[in-house]
């Protein structure tokens, strides 16, 4: 249980509703700001106007998937009011307070470091990333179906990267009957992809494998789908880039060439916000509970 634990949650989208529900069920004291436009109940949380005093005596600060922008602005789907996280806010938080977000930009990392507060990026964790790969793959399949006139079954589909998202993406395509090529950089990934029945190749030879594919799913967050690669794709090909912004595709050249190419990061929160929220909520609640126990506050 999280009885006696003070949590401040700022902004976010539908995923945060699951976090609020979970923490409230565990008896944490949850204060939220940035939900004025929400017409449903907050499951036991207390809504408050954004103010410096909210940071006094908190044990955990919860921020959205992308904590803040480069100026400290927090994304708020359920509010038109601006919430900007500043150094002076974190200065009021106790030093044991942990700051949790999905992924942090340099701004957030800097102000946490300046105030001596530990910053935890959930999307760096293997468990969260693997669970999130499921709605990511489903969302990518949805985009593929919407933007092609063929079935996934029988298609020639390419997945670039065989990490946590690429692995699930390739397996999902295979389950739907696609002929799956997997671009890898490491020998152990080549071996695993071959063992699973995919057609592996090394990304250094990508150009040799792009002449006859229907779908290209990229998970590598560096420029890999270059103009040269796109020029070699058949005109029917569709590129779905799942890497974090700005992706790994030359979108300008794809448009010039007439190839459909879309950047689609953050699919879990778009296609399955409830599931994505539960993934975050389960991880967060366990981390906060573990931290509470370490500090001698376990219930």
User: Is the pLDDT assigned to residue 41 strictly greater than 90?
Assistant: no
pLDDT in tens, 263-291: 998 899 999 999 999 999 999 999 999 99
Return mean pLDDT, the chain.
95
Q: What separation in angstroms does the CA of 219 have from each of 100, 225, 258, 264?
A: 24, 11, 22, 10
Give the 3-state secondary structure of residue 61.
strand
- As a whole number of angstroms, the distance between CA 171 and CA 194 comes to 12
Task: Give the number of other CB atoms < 10 A from CB of residue 162.
Answer: 26
DSSP 228-272: HHHHHS-TT-EEEE-SSTT-SB-HHHHHHHT-EEEE-TTHHHHH-
Q: Residue 299's pLDDT is what?
A: 43
Q: How confident is the model at residue 245 (pLDDT cuts 50, 70, 90)?
A: confident
**Residues 95-104, mean pLDDT to the nearest whole number:** 96
Q: What does the pLDDT read at residue 264?
A: 94
What is the per-residue pLDDT for 221? Answer: 93
Q: Which pLDDT does position 295 carry in this prediction? A: 82
Residue 87 confidence class, pLDDT cut points 50, 70, 90: very high
Using the predicted structure, report yes or no on whether residue 76 has a pLDDT greater than 70.
Answer: yes
What percentage of the chain carries pLDDT values higher than 90? Answer: 92
What is the rounded average pLDDT of the residues 112-132? Answer: 96
pLDDT of res. 207? 97
Q: What is the pLDDT of residue 42?
A: 82
> Is 156 in a helix, a strand, or coil?
strand
What does the pLDDT read at residue 40? 80
Question: Is residue 43 over pLDDT 90?
Answer: no
Mean pLDDT of 206-223: 96
The percent of residues in the chain predicted with pLDDT above 70, rounded, is: 99
Burial 132-142 (b: 16+ CB within 10 A, else e): bbbbbbbbbbe
Is the pLDDT at 144 greater than 90? The verdict is: yes
Q: Output the pLDDT for position 298.
A: 44
Q: What is the pTM of this model?
A: 0.88
Residue 154 main-chain phi, psi, to 5 deg: 85, -5
Section 65-85 average pLDDT: 94
pLDDT at 266: 87
């Amino acid at each position: 249980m999280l009885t006696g634990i003070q949590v401040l949650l700022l902004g976010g989208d539908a995923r945060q509703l699951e976090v609020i529900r979970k923490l409230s069920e565990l008896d944490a004291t949850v204060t939220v700001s940035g939900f004025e436009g929400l017409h449903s109940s907050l499951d036991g949380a207390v809504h408050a106007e954004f103010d410096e005093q909210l940071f006094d005596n908190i044990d955990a600060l919860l921020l959205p998937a992308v904590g803040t922008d480069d100026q400290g602005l927090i994304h708020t789907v359920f509010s038109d009011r601006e919430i900007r996280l500043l150094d002076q806010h974190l200065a009021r938080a106790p030093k044991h307070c942990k700051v949790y977000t999905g992924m942090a930009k340099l701004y957030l990392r800097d102000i946490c470091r300046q105030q001596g507060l530990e910053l935890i990026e959930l999307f760096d964790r293997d468990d969260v990333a693997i669970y999130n790969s499921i709605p990511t793959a489903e969302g990518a399949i949805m985009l593929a179906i919407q933007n092609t006139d063929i079935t996934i079954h029988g298609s020639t589909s390419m997945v670039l990267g065989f990490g946590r998202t690429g692995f699930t993406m390739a397996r999902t395509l295979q389950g739907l009957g696609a002929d799956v090529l997997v671009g890898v950089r490491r020998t152990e990934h080549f071996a695993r992809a071959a063992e699973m029945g995919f057609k592996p190749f090394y990304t250094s030879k990508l150009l040799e494998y792009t002449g006859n594919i229907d779908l290209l799913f990229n998970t590598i967050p560096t420029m890999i789908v270059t103009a040269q690669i796109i020029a070699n794709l058949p005109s029917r090909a569709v590129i779905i880039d799942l890497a974090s912004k700005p992706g790994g595709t030359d979108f300008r050249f794809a448009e010039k060439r007439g190839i459909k190419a879309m950047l689609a990061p953050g699919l879990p929160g778009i296609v399955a916000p409830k599931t994505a929220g539960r993934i975050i909520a389960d991880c967060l609640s366990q981390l906060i509970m573990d931290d509470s126990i370490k500090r001698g506050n376990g219930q």
